[in-house]
Amino acid sequence: MAGLAEPARADAFKVTFLTKVAEGQRPRVRVQAVEPIERLEINLSRDDGPNVSAAWDGLTPGAQRELVLPGDPGKHRYEGRIAITQKGTTRHDSLAFETVVAAAMRVTVDKSRVDLKARQLELSMSRPAGRIEVKVYGPTGGAPVAETQHDLTGRAAGEPLVVTWPAPADGSEAARIDLRAYDADGFFVGVTLVPWSVHIPHEEVSFATDAATIAPAEAPKLNGSYQRIAQALAAHRELGPIKLFIAGHTDTVGKASYNVKLSQRRAQAIAAWFRKRGLRIPIAYEGFGEHALLVATADETDEPRNRRVDYILAVEDPWLTVTGSRPTWRPVP
């Protein structure tokens, strides 16, 4: 029929659509010549108006050309045609496809809602959800001890999402949790949580009243703790970069504000001792005063068990919310 374009020979070229990209990248249409092509043209129009076109001459077999499309975020539909000229004859074919340029996705885990005993946590995504893959690792690393995925298609951006995982067959508790959160368009963000921590058993260092100086006679206690810390580091090195956190506590004798400062000074002294002893991992300290009593007592009660220092190994900062806010762990140089 006169006036109708001849269809392009599909075996003369291959078209690849690279149409789902993250913000900062641009979608594109890639054409590869299978046979010699004298001229190749692409003309497209987008659903909101902009036209995009390109043309190339003299494509040999295997040659590739790309038409780069606008990279503004959002979904768009393109329609148009591709034309190839071979041996003086021009043939046409239609093109229609959608593009997605996705703004950076944020995945936020509410660490106060991580419940290892119930094997669940809560998170939110800044874009409509697709699915979430979960892999759980035990304290010695190696292969996952539990795996699962959740289809959350249809859940809105920002909505709290509860993620659970099955009980590990070996009975171990989650030491590391790897999440891969996919949005409705298939983009994903990986998040790793390391809720693992271990309290190092130790003999308490004795301090003089109102003092934070470590007496030479107390060094053997700290040397014993140093050895236990080294053993724990060797056993759990696969979990990631482990830190030592020193948390100081007092009893209820004296003003609460003073006790916070005293416990902080004592925790700092012990942290500095470990650094001087040769512990090279990151060390941080904080004082909690009488806000985290081991034994509940009335005010102005002399209770030795409450005058203590905790040695905690962890990858992430421990969430000891005993003061109603997240602790400010202070690093030791």
Question: What does each of the 333 residues of the chain score in pLDDT, given as a tens digit?
Answer: 233 345 556 689 999 999 999 888 999 999 999 999 999 999 999 999 889 999 999 999 999 999 999 998 889 999 999 999 999 999 999 999 999 998 889 999 988 888 988 999 999 999 999 999 999 998 877 889 999 999 999 999 999 999 999 998 888 888 999 999 999 988 999 999 998 889 999 999 988 888 899 999 999 999 999 999 999 999 888 888 999 999 999 888 889 899 999 999 999 999 999 999 999 999 999 999 888 888 889 988 888 888 899 999 999 888 655 545 568 899 999
- Residues 156/192, Cβ–Cβ less than 8 Å: no
Identify the bridge partners of residue 179 per DSSP, sorted by sequence position: 134, 191
Question: Token digits for 197?
Answer: 């921590």
The secondary structure of residue 4, as a DSSP letter, is P
At 5 the pLDDT is: 44
At 9 the pLDDT is: 62
Question: Token digits for 326?
Answer: 């997240």
The rounded distance, in Å, linking the Cα atoms of 16 and 32 is: 8
Query: What structural domains and CATH numbers belong to the chain?
Result: 10-102 (2.60.40.2550), 107-193 (2.60.40.4070), 197-331 (3.30.1330.60)
The secondary structure of residue 316, as a DSSP letter, is S
- Residues 286/217, Cβ–Cβ less than 8 Å: no
- Residues 246/264, Cβ–Cβ less than 8 Å: no
- Residues 114/193, Cβ–Cβ less than 8 Å: yes
Give the number of other Cβ atoms within 10 Å of residue 219's Cβ: 14
- Kind of pairing between the strands at 146-151 and 107-109: unpaired
- Residues 24/71, Cβ–Cβ less than 8 Å: yes
The rounded distance, in Å, linking the Cα atoms of 145 and 177 is: 10
At 322 the pLDDT is: 52
At 1 the pLDDT is: 28
Give the number of other Cβ atoms within 10 Å of residue 166's Cβ: 12
Enclosing H/E stretch for 52: strand 51-59
At 77 the pLDDT is: 95
The rounded distance, in Å, linking the Cα atoms of 146 and 139 is: 13
At 4 the pLDDT is: 38
Burial status of residue 110 (CB atoms within 10 A of its CB: 0-12, 13-18, 19 or more): exposed
Identify the bridge partners of residue 64 per DSSP, sorted by sequence position: 32
The rounded distance, in Å, linking the Cα atoms of 132 and 182 is: 6
218 three-state secondary structure: helix
Burial status of residue 10 (CB atoms within 10 A of its CB: 0-12, 13-18, 19 or more): exposed
At 2 the pLDDT is: 30
Is pTM beyond 0.75? Reply is no
Half-sphere exposure for 320 (CA within 13 Å, toward CB): 24
Buried b (16+ CB within 10 A) or exposed e, 24-56: eeebbbebebeeebeebbbbbebeeeeebeeeb
Q: For residue 6, which of 111, 97, 82, 96 has the smallest C-alpha distance?
A: 82
Burial status of residue 186 (CB atoms within 10 A of its CB: 0-12, 13-18, 19 or more): exposed
